[in-house]
Structure 1
Amino acid sequence: MIKAGIFGATGYTGLELVKLLRRHPAADIAFVASQSQAGKTLRDVFPAAPALPLIAGADAPLDAIDVAFLCLPHAAAAETATVALAAGTRVIDLSADFRLRDAATYAHWYAHDHPAPHLLAEAVYGLTEVYRAELPGARLVANPGCYPTSVLLALWPLLRAGLPIAEPIIADSKSGVSGAGRTPTQTSHFVEVADNFSAYKIGRAHRHLPEMEQAIAQWRAAAPALIFSPHLLPVPRGILSTIYVTFEKDVAEADLRDLYTAAYDGEPFVSVLPRGQTAALAHVTHTNRCAIGLTLTGRTLILTSAIDNLIKGAAGQAVQNMNVVFGCDETAGLE
C-alpha cells in the first residue's frame, strides 16, 4: 500500500486528491495538512468531505509516507519538497516550482530566486503521456500546469512530426473559475464572473507561457513562436483551448488525423474525436480525460482540447504520475 501525505489539502486541488486517493486500490492517505486550518477536520472546511484531521505542515510525519503531494503556493512548495526528499519521501509537486528547468527563468517569472535550484535538473516533468518513460522510480515529479496540459497534449503529435509550420501558433484558452484557486479575489467573485466572459494576462504575462515554450523547444528545433491568450469562463471547472496552427504547404486532414490517432493509440486518458466533432467541457468534466478535436481549413489546423482543470490539469494527472512512479496500473483510482 502506498502511503500518501497531502500538503495544502484545503484547496480545490487538495480536495480532489483526497477524493481520488480514497478510492485508489493501492493507496492510503496517511495525513492531510493545512497551515491555515490545522486543528480542524477537512469536513469543517468542505461539508461533503471526510472528517480527516488537518495537521500543520511542520508536524507532518514524513517517515510515515511514501509520497508527498504538494498543493502549495510556489516557493513554499520547493521548501517543503527539499525537506521531504531529505527524509526519503518521493514528491509530486502540483505548484510551479519545478516545472521550469532554468532558475533564472523562474526568477524572472516569479519575482524571486528559486528556493532549491539544485533540484531542477532532477525533476521529471509529469506530462504523463509524453514523459512516461522517465517516471518509474522518480524522486521528484513536477506536475504540469492546467493550461499547459490542455495545449501541450494537443500540440505534441504535430510538433514531433516535423511538419513545416508558419509562425506563430495561437492558443486561445478558457478556464473555469476554480483555476484561480480558493482564495477569493475581486475578479473571481461570483458577481464579477457571472454573466461575464473576459480575457486576462494576455501577451507575455501569464506564468504558464514559459512552461509551454520550454516543452515546445524540447520537441522541435527552431520552435515556432507561441501566442497564448487565457480567458475566464463563468463556470466552476474545465479548460477549453482552441489552438491555431498554419502550415507552410498543403497538408491532408486525413494524414493529420492518422498522426494523432497513432500518437495516442492505446492512451487511456486521451481521446482523439471523430471527424466533425470539436472538444467541449462536457467531454471531460469530473474525469481525467483530455479530448482533442481536429479541423483543417485551408492550411490552418484548428485544434480543440478540453480537460478538467482540477483533475487532468492537476489532481488526476498527479495520481496518474504516482501510478507510473510506483508501478501501479496507470488508471488506478482514476476510472
Structure 2
Amino acid sequence: MIKAGIAGAAGYTGGELLRVLLQHPEVEIAFAHSRSQAGQPLSKVHGDLLGETALTFSGGPDADIDVLFLCLGHGESAAFLEQNTVPQGVKLIDLSQDFRLKARNVRGGRTFVYGLPERNRERIAAADSIANPGCFATALQLGLLPLVSQGFAGEVHATGITGATGAGQKLAESSHFAWRNNNIQAYKSLQHQHLAEIDEQQAEAGGTAHIHFVPWRGDFARGIFVSQQLRTTLSLDELNNLYETWYATHPFTVLSSRPIHMKQAVNTNKCFVHIEQAEGQTVIHTAIDNLLKGASGQAVQNMNLMFGLPETTGLHLKASYF
C-alpha cells in the first residue's frame, strides 16, 4: 500500500483528494494535516465523510509516508517546504501554482515536473516531484495540445466559466450565495495567472499560440466549460482525426462528435472535447471538473504514474448527470 499524507486537507482540493484516496485500492492515508482543524475529525469539515473514516486532522506531518500532497494556498507550499523537512525518498505532488514555472521549479534538490499526463506522461512516471497544473490551464491546454504539437502559432480567443469552488474556501464577496446565485461575472480578463504556465508548456511543445482569455465566475458549485476560437487550415475531419490519434492512449480525455456539456465531466477525472467549424473559424470546446481533472483527480492520476500503477486506478468515477 502507498502511504499518503495530505497537507492542507481541510480545503476544497484537500477534501476532494480525501474522497478519492479513501476509495483508492492501493493507498492508505497516513495523515490529513490542517493547522486550523488539528485534532478534529475529518467529518467536522467534510460532512460527507461521516461514517467513511475515523481519521482526525493532524497539526503537521506526523507519520512515515511514500507521497505527500500539498493542497495549500498559493505561496503556502513553498513556505511549508521551508518549515518542514520532507525526506528525499518521499514523492511530492503540489496542487498550488508555486512550482509550475521553470523559474521556480527547483526546491531543496528537487525539480518539479509539470503534471499534465497528456503531455508529460513519461517524465511524470520518472519524477519525484510534480507541479499539478491549474484548472483553467488544464482545460485550455487539452483543447489545444494536438494543434500545438503540429506547430500551431495563431491567435486564440477563449472564454471559460468556472464554479464557485474554483475560488477556494476563503470568503470573498463573490463567493457568497446571494452574490453568486443567478449571477455571472468576467474577472482577470486577458491576465489570468494560468496563462504563464500555458505559454511555457506551449513553447516546449513547439507551438506559439497567443491565447486571449476571458474567464467568468459562474453561479454553480463546480465544473469548467471553455470555448477557444481560432483559424486553422485543417478541415473538421482532419482536426478530429488529429485529436483522436493524439488522445487514443490517454484514458481521461475524450473526443466527442456531438456537442458536450459540463455535467458530463462534473464528478469525474475526464476532459471532454468537441470541435466545430463555421465561417472559416474553428471552435474547440472542453469541459472538466475543476476539483478533479483540474486539481485532485489529476494529482491522483500523477501519483498512479509515479508509482507504476495504471493511471486510471481509483479514478473510475461517476458523473453527476442529473
TM-score, normalising length: structure 1: 0.89
State the secondary structure of the residue aligned to 1:73. Answer: coil
Alignment partner, residue 176 of structure 1 = 163
Distance 2:307 2:229 in 1: 37
Counterpart of 1:125 in structure 2: which amino acid?
Answer: Y
1:145-224 matches, within 5 Å, as 145-163=134-152, 165-166=153-154, 168-204=155-191, 206-221=192-207, 223-224=208-209
Distance 1:334 1:190 in 2: 30
Deviation string 1:184-211 (CA, Å, 9 cap, x unpaired) is 111111001001111011122x211211
Distance 1:119 1:128 in 2: 24
5+ unaligned residues in a row in structure 1: which ranges? 104-115
Distance 1:99 1:331 in 2: 23
Distance 2:275 2:129 in 1: 34
Distance 2:295 2:168 in 1: 12
- The reply on whether 1:231 has 2:232 as its aligned counterpart is no
Q: CA shift at 1:218, angstroms?
A: 1.6
- The reply on whether 1:281 has 2:262 as its aligned counterpart is yes
- The reply on whether 1:332 has 2:313 as its aligned counterpart is yes
1:36-47 matches, within 5 Å, as 36-47=36-47
Alignment partner, residue 261 of structure 1 = 244
- CA distance 1:126–1:120, change in 2 (3 Å): farther
Distance 1:37 1:87 in 2: 28
Contact 2:4 2:69 in 1 (8 A): yes
Q: CA shift at 1:27, angstroms?
A: 0.7
Distance 2:6 2:136 in 1: 23
State the secondary structure of the residue aligned to 2:15. Answer: helix
Alignment partner, residue 90 of structure 1 = 91
Q: Runs in 1 of length 4+ with deviation above 6 angstroms?
A: none
- CA distance 1:279–1:286, change in 2 (3 Å): same
TM-score, normalising length: structure 2: 0.92
Aligned residues, how many? Answer: 312
Contact 2:136 2:224 in 1 (8 A): yes
Deviation string 1:287-314 (CA, Å, 9 cap, x unpaired) is 0000000001233210000000000100
- The reply on whether 1:272 has 2:255 as its aligned counterpart is yes
Q: CA shift at 1:235, angstroms?
A: 0.6
State the secondary structure of the residue aligned to 1:213. Answer: helix
Deviation string 1:99-147 (CA, Å, 9 cap, x unpaired) is 11124xxxxxxxxxxxx85469811100011100101241110000000
State the secondary structure of the residue aligned to 2:98. Answer: coil
Contact 1:98 1:120 in 2 (8 A): no
Contact 2:110 2:129 in 1 (8 A): no
1:43-192 matches, within 5 Å, as 43-49=43-49, 50-57=53-60, 60-61=61-62, 64-81=64-81, 83-86=84-87, 88-103=89-104, 117-118=106-107, 122-163=111-152, 165-166=153-154, 168-192=155-179
Q: CA shift at 1:149, angstroms?
A: 0.5
CA RMSD of aligned residues (A): 1.7
Q: Which shifted more, 45-54 or 259-268? A: 45-54
Counterpart of 1:78 in structure 2: which amino acid?
Answer: A
Counterpart of 1:269 in structure 2: which amino acid?
Answer: F
Q: CA shift at 1:85, angstroms?
A: 3.8
Distance 1:158 1:124 in 2: 22
- The reply on whether 1:298 has 2:279 as its aligned counterpart is yes
Contact 2:110 2:128 in 1 (8 A): no
Deviation string 1:230-268 (CA, Å, 9 cap, x unpaired) is 101101000000011113xx4311011100000011321
- CA distance 1:51–1:186, change in 2 (3 Å): farther
Contact 2:271 2:287 in 1 (8 A): yes
Distance 1:251 1:324 in 2: 33
- CA distance 1:293–1:201, change in 2 (3 Å): same
State the secondary structure of the residue aligned to 2:93. Answer: strand
Contact 2:106 2:112 in 1 (8 A): no
Contact 1:272 1:292 in 2 (8 A): yes
- CA distance 1:84–1:333, change in 2 (3 Å): farther
Counterpart of 2:281 in structure 1: which amino acid?
Answer: T
